[in-house]
Amino acid sequence: MSAIKPVLVVAGVRAGGTGAATAAAFARKGYSLALISRGAEDLQALVDELKSAGSDATAFPVPSYSAPSISSVFQSIHTRYPSPHYAIRAALYNASHSIRKPFLDLTLADFHAAQETIVEGAFAFSQEIIRVFKENDIDADTGKRGFLIFTGSTTSIRGNRTTSAAAPAKWGLRALSQSLSKEFGEWNIHVAHAIIDGIINTPFSRSRFNDPPNWVENEDVRLNAEDIAKAYVYLAEQPRSAWTWELDLRPAHEKW
């Protein structure tokens, strides 16, 4: 009899970003990886890279984070990682939609796009994950059936100029995570929310500037995806007598 393999499911991964770094960190802890993302080619390249580093990883591309596409991707995940050989024990919802525009320039389509990727996707993802977690046994070390974390940002708690589409969605995500944390704590399901309050040094964030921005070389003013991943692993391993719902992370010199 072989042991049951733990699986981490991540929604929202890009090369060099928070989702990818978290996947690599959990792989080092012995997890198999189910990675959900838009952009099938980039996702497959990332999965190939993880596999060549010795991880068991599978790409699950989605056309969008709408509830129907989340529901259908979970059918594929259960086929690839069937119970009882595998058990989904950790999940990260990291899919986000960055949109910054003055309020009167926003369209209803902009508003809905942020809501779909950030809130509807997280709602559908959480239902799939929590149904699975409820069937898990309680881990002897951590006292939990499963660990579900959401990536938030500055806009999760502070609206600002140009955040009138993104902030309502990110606040909604935070509210969802708090509601689930309270409802499922008594099931020994650990739900957490991380506020990433600063710029993350990733190929994607760098590509949004013309010249290499000053924060690329300055460790004091930006976050590394690998360091965020370390915090996520720490939360996943917290024992049941001291669970964090919300964690905030920012670089040393962040002006907040």
Ligand X SMILES: *[C@@H]1O[C@H](CO)[C@@H](O)[C@H](O)[C@H]1NC(C)=O
Residues that bind ligand X (CB under 6 A): 12-14, 17-19, 94-96, 151, 153-154, 158, 160-161, 196, 200
Residue pair 24/53 in contact by the 8 Å Cβ criterion: yes
Nearer to ligand X, 149 or 189 (CB): 149
User: ∠ CA(119), CA(112), CA(156), 5° rounding?
Assistant: 45
Residues listed for the chain = 256
Helices 166-184 and 121-135 sit at what angle, rounded to 10 degrees?
A: 20
Report, in Å, the least distance between residue 136 CB and ligand X: 25
φ/ψ of 57, rounded to 5, equals -130, 145
Nearer to ligand X, 12 or 172 (CB): 12
Separation of alpha carbons 136 and 14, rounded Å: 29
Element (H, E) at 38: none
Report, in Å, the least distance between residue 102 CB and ligand X: 10
Report, in Å, the least distance between residue 160 CB and ligand X: 4
Nearer to ligand X, 87 or 118 (CB): 118
Ranges of beta strands (E only) in 79-145 are 86-93
Report, in Å, the least distance between residue 105 CB and ligand X: 14
Report, in Å, the least distance between residue 214 CB and ligand X: 15
Nearer to ligand X, 136 or 153 (CB): 153
Nearer to ligand X, 87 or 196 (CB): 196
For 16: left if phi > 0, alpha if psi spans -120 to 50, otherwise beta; the answer is: left
